């Protein structure tokens, strides 16, 4: 059991971060506002979790312009996808563990 808990990624120790990773894993890229609506959180809260994931190099940020409006889009990285999949596998094993 302890080994299994050790396999859990500390970076995903939060529902919002899990949500961000889940959404990014099934979409090419998502902009800040869409993520905010999806997660139903405040700007500051979302931004701080995005920064955490960015620091772990699990996601990358792309700043673009739509017309004159700046738009920040987020994308999952390869290591990010791998870490997320490992985390999900660990969760599944923990549920089955008796």
Partner 1 sequence: MNKNQYSEDLAHIRSMMERSSRFISLSGWAGILPGIFALAGLALAVRFIQTSTSNGMYEDGIHGEIQLMNRLGLIAFGVLALSVFSSWYMCMRKARMENQATWTPAIRNMLLHFCIPLVAGAIIAAWVTDREQWSLIAPILLSFYGLALIQVSQFTLKSIFWLGLIEIALSLPAGVNGWGIPALAIGFGFAHIVYGVMQFAPKSAKGDSFEAGL
Give 33 or 48: the residue with its C-beta nearer to partner 1: 33
Task: Provide CB contacts within 8 A for 8, sequence distance 6+.
Answer: 87, 90, 91, 94
Which residues of this protein are in contact with partner 1, per CB under 8 A?
5, 15, 18-19, 21-23, 25-31, 33-34, 37-39, 66, 69, 71, 88, 91-92, 94-95, 97
What is the C-alpha to C-alpha distance for residues 21 and 71, in angstroms, rounded to an integer?
Answer: 19
Give 37 or 44: the residue with its C-beta nearer to partner 1: 37
Least separation, in Å, of the C-beta of 9 and partner 1?
12
Q: Rounded to a whole number, what is the distance in angstroms from the first to the last CA of the chain?
A: 9
What is the C-alpha to C-alpha distance for residues 69 and 50, in angstroms, rounded to an integer?
Answer: 20
Q: What are phi and psi of 44, to 5 degrees?
A: -65, -45
Least separation, in Å, of the C-beta of 79 and partner 1?
18
Give 40 or 78: the residue with its C-beta nearer to partner 1: 40
Least separation, in Å, of the C-beta of 48 and partner 1?
18
């Amino acid at each position: 059991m302890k080994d299994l808990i050790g396999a859990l990624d500390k970076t995903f120790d939060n529902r919002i971060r899990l949500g961000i990773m889940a959404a990014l894993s099934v979409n090419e890229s998502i902009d800040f506002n869409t993520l905010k609506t999806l997660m139903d959180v405040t700007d500051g809260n979302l931004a701080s979790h995005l920064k955490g994931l960015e620091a772990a190099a699990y996601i990358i940020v792309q700043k673009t312009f739509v017309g004159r409006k700046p738009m920040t889009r987020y994308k999952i990285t390869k290591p990010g996808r791998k870490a997320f999949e490992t985390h999900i596998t660990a969760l599944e094993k923990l549920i089955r563990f008796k």
